[in-house]
Amino acid sequence: MSWELGVKTRLTELLGIETPIICGGMMRVGTADLAAAVSNAGALGVMTALSQPTLEGLEAEIARCASLTDKPFAVNLTVGVVATQIDYDDILDVIINSGVKILETAGRSPEPFMDRLKAAGIKVIHKCVTVRHALSAERIGVDVVSIDGFECAGHPGEHDVGGLVLFPATTQALKIPVVASGGIADGRGLVAALALGCDGINMGSRFLVSQEAPIHHAIKEKFVEMDENQTRLIFRSYRNTARVYRNSIADQVVDIESRGGEFAEVHSLVSGSNQDKAWKTGDINAGMVTVGMCGGLINDIPTCRELVQTIVSDAEQIITNRLAGAVVHAEIGQTTAA
């Protein structure tokens, strides 16, 4: 199929990818297999550095990803949001020495690392949740900002601004490419993001529900069945809001928070080991399960290639048929009225 119409943007040119679609880094899910499958489909796959428990494991996983695709892929590095002590300099050494050319950063500002990254010729995509933080990222020299709307999975921040406002507010403030993230699962979302001034889209939840995603099929089926109301916000009282699937764990966390409970009281419920159990066993109530509101738009479990092709094809149809037709009808109406 053609990849030409409506999908060539500053993002595709900058990163050397075929379509302006990114599979954002997802903890415990962003493996070499998923990243390579996404990249081979013409989008940008992202593997997560902190999913690997050792530096040797990270080096091996990057090498494995490179062996599975000859297309560009990225590594995600989330800074400063985990309780364990992490030597980010050592991790960056592995990433740089492995020849990775695209890094997605999240959490705290990547400013302390920018000189090293620029010297290595690495393009930096930084995830933000406010225009203010996006402007700061642009000032320190990141190449792309990925802006998370309130609908997103994971951490949407504390300002509760949806993508319909946040995306154009960001694009009108920045000069560098902006990627829309949160609430996007199909070609309609891609077209909407482009119309709002963005140069591409970032999808996490949608790629979770793909055949290559390394989570249990039963969890994928739950996401297919869910509607847009099946997520819940937790950690609000701790000023670290997270959007997750509404299961018994999320309900317990919200109940503890409503009674003024400290984070220590919920820690065992939301532990990484419990999330791993849910992902691996298919028990939706085993732990905290991260998914965005766009789960309500997901109706099947395709391969990554099928997913990317469908999004691009649907976007082309919307642009050439529905939108073009709407413009023609509007012009005819104006002519008739005159």
312 lies in some domain:
no
Predicted confidence band of residue 82 (pLDDT cuts 50, 70, 90): low
Q: Are residues 146 and 240 in the same domain?
A: no
pLDDT of 270 > 90? The answer is yes
Quote the pLDDT of residue 322: 85
* Residue 254 backbone dihedrals phi, psi, to 5 degrees: -60, -40
**Domain boundary residue among 134, 168, 203?**
203
Residue 231 falls within a domain, yes or no?
A: yes
* Predicted local confidence at residue 238, as pLDDT: 95
Q: Residue 332 — very low, low, confident or very high, per pLDDT cuts 50/70/90?
A: low
Domain that holds residue 256: 217-294
The more confidently predicted of residues 124 and 325 is 124
Is residue 103 situated within a structural domain?
yes
* Rg of the chain, C-alpha, whole Å: 20
> How large is the average pLDDT for residues 140-152?
98
Same domain, 35 and 182: yes
pLDDT at position 5, please? Answer: 39
* Whether residue 235 sits in one domain with residue 275: yes
Alpha carbon 298 to its chain centroid, in Å, reads 15
CATH number for the domain including 140? 3.20.20.70
pTM: 0.93
In a domain, 52, yes or no: yes
For the chain, give the secondary structure using H, E and C: CCCCCCCCCHHHHHHCCCCCEEECCCCCCCCHHHHHHHHHCCCEEEEEHHHCCCHHHHHHHHHHHHHHCCCCEEEEEEECCCCCCCCHHHHHHHHHHCCCCEEEEEECCCHHHHHHHHHCCCEEEEEECCHHHHHHHHHHCCCEEEEECCCCCECCCCCCCCHHHHHHHHHCCCCCCEEEECCCCCHHHHHHHHHCCCCEEEECHHHHCCCCCCCCHHHHHHHHHCCCCCEEEECHHHCCCEEEECCHHHHHHHHHHHCCCCHHHHCCCCCHHHHHHHHHHCCCCCCCCECCHHHHHCCCCCCHHHHHHHHHHHHHHHHHHHHHHHHHHHHHHHHHHC
* The pLDDT of residue 336: 52
pLDDT at position 3? 40
Do residues 180 and 276 both lie within one domain?
no
Q: Which residues contact 113 (CB under 8 A, 6 or more apart)?
A: 88, 92, 105
- Based on the fold, state whether residues 24 and 112 are members of the same structural domain: yes
Which of 294, 312, 328 terminates a domain? The answer is 294
Min mean pLDDT across 116-130, 215-229, 289-303, 317-331 is at 317-331
Q: Does residue 275 lie within any of the structural domains?
A: yes
The reply to whether 59 and 153 lie within a common domain is yes
Domain boundary among the residues 203, 237, 252 is at 203
Q: Give domain status of residue 40, yes or no.
A: yes
The domain total for the chain is 2
What average pLDDT does range 199-227 have in this prediction? Answer: 98
Q: Give the chain's mean pLDDT.
A: 93
Give the mean pLDDT of 134-149.
98
> In terms of Cα–Cα distance, which of 193, 227, 241, 272 is closest to 22?
193
Beta bridge partners of 202: 22, 181
pLDDT, position 39: 97
